[in-house]
Structure 1
């Protein structure tokens, strides 16, 4: 404990000079933080700030109509696997071709309405117990294999497995995905791309030893910054978990997932004005 309560000398002046703003000096604008909440809950339903207005897909028939003839590809961690599981449970007739439920890859099909849905975990680092080497695929490579088009929906969530690693590694991975996403949108600009943000998690004693919401927020800010400027839609999971009275959980409970899926489907099938 020899370094406890030891005074650290300043490397520069011990004061700060505040000078008036020059007349032609531009306003400093943040490229990462968007001020203000993205929405709120009213009677358990998420109300997004601004547009588009979030549709309520309470009827399975309405959900099926939205997904009719579409290919829905979900890539990322278990927080996006929850969406795959939600669809599998809530849409009658969607046949889930089960493999390893936790590791995947997973696929669900509906022949009547020509719906194809897949989920694949992102490449390492992973916290799964065992993953076959043959199934270690990177999201960028998967995006390069897609044809894309108006009937293709790509959903990405990649954040929770990077919260124990240096932020530089995360940035490199996101930049690789961004380049592949740009190539996809160049060859098929009408492809619908949706990114799910990170969110606060439950801080149990075990989690507190390894994780913090502060670092998760830095990851979330990097995620938003890297994909800024691309033609992508967002599901603001951070705000949707933070605002709900169910509390924080690494795997949000069903009422929150239902609202997230409504936002997802709203981007796929917005209200036509």
Structure 2
């Protein structure tokens, strides 16, 4: 379950083909001014309707203006106060499944909301599972790492459920919110195991929506990441994107919502990072909450 990687794979003259600043990560200097001027777009403030599941994911799915994500498919609500998020999540049970890139959502919510207190289950921050409760506002948020393959610190198999199995245990309903992602721990495997895993999740979601149509299911896509020399030998954004295309196609036509983390990370000026900085995570959570509490017409 927890494995390492082979190191020092380059031998002989091969090292000369992977030199940072020489033929890897070599900056391309501009011919003209080394900056761009960003102006307000005609799409800024345009009414794109409510953020509801089942909407087609457009490309480009949005853009940043003054560090705020503007969607091209629905009206995004930006949450600046803990009161606004608490009002949105009041009475909700939120289940978050996946890897550390969506665990950041759990961490953002528990850090930002003073009333949402993390209940100590004795698990490490990286492994989980985690539980947070706001008793007064009847908010429950749970996080589970997806089933193996996964590269984290040692964890009991009982704490590492397969997403499909966990979904089958959830009753669902209007007060139930499901958010999940699954991609980066499959980057070192052929695509076939990933397809089978996502197929199983798809079947479970269809069963969930069949018994409880009012359940909201939100899928976070893959995101770009930093690729230092060692990582680039066994991983790539190109392969992550292939997995992402599989997932998007798998859930096409189903009543689910997407948070397009791929475009939200590639469009931001911050350096690529497997775990995006807080400003990006805030925008991802804002999009997520915009599906939980759709913003009416402006």
- Interval containing the TM-score (normalised by the shorter chain): 0.7 to 0.9
Q: Does 1:68 align with 2:90?
A: yes
* Cα distance in 2, alignment partners of residues 190 and 133 from structure 1: 31
Match of 1:56 among 51, 59, 78: 78
Find the partner of 1:84 among 92, 102, 106: 106
Quote how far apart the aligned CAs of 1:207 are. Answer: 1.1
**What is the TM-score normalised by the length of structure 2?**
0.79
SS in 2 for 1:143: helix
**Which has more radius of gyration?**
1
Structure 1 residues 84-136: Cα deviation after superposition (integer angstroms, max 9, x where no partner): 00000000111101332111000000011000000000000000121112212
Question: Is the counterpart of residue 184 in structure 1 residue 201 in structure 2?
Answer: no
1:234 has 2:258 as partner: yes
Q: Indicate which of 281, 289, 294 corresponds to 1:257.
A: 281
- The CA distance in 2 between the partners of 1:206 and 1:92, in whole Å, is 40
Cα distance in 1, alignment partners of residues 150 and 190 from structure 2: 15
> CA contact under 8 A between 2:259 and 2:287: conserved in structure 1?
yes
Change over 3 Å in CA distance of 1:247–1:145 after alignment to 2? same
Instruction: Work out whether 1:40 is the aligned partner of 2:75.
Output: no
Partner of 1:13: none
Q: Within 1, Cα distance between the matches of 2:114 and 2:58?
A: 40
CA distance in structure 2 between the aligned counterparts of 1:239 and 1:206, rounded to whole angstroms:
25
Q: 1:97 aligns with which of 119, 122, 126?
A: 119
CA positional deviation for 1:259: 0.2
Compared CA separation, residues 224 and 270, structure 1 to 2 (3 A):
same
Per-residue CA shift, 1:146-177, capped at 9, x if unaligned? Answer: 00000000001110100000000000000000
Aligned equivalent of 2:242, options 206, 218, 226: 218
Measured on the aligned residues, the alpha-carbon RMSD in Å equals 1.2
Q: Which runs of 5+ in 1 are unaligned?
A: 1-32
Q: Secondary structure at the match of 1:229?
A: coil
Match among 143, 149, 154 for residue 125 of structure 1: 149
Distance 1:81 1:252 in 2: 12
**In structure 2, C-alpha distance between the alignment counterparts of 1:166 and 1:107, rounded to whole Å:** 33
Count of residues in Structure 1 that have an aligned counterpart in Structure 2: 240
User: Which moves more between the two structures, 163-172 or 125-134?
Assistant: 125-134
Query: Which deviates more, 170-179 or 198-207?
Result: 198-207
Q: 1:109 & 1:82 partners in 2: Cα distance?
A: 17
Q: Which runs of 4+ in 1 moved over 2 A?
A: 33-36
Shift of 1:35: 6.6
Structure-to-structure mapping, 1:107-126, within 5 angstroms: 107-126=131-150
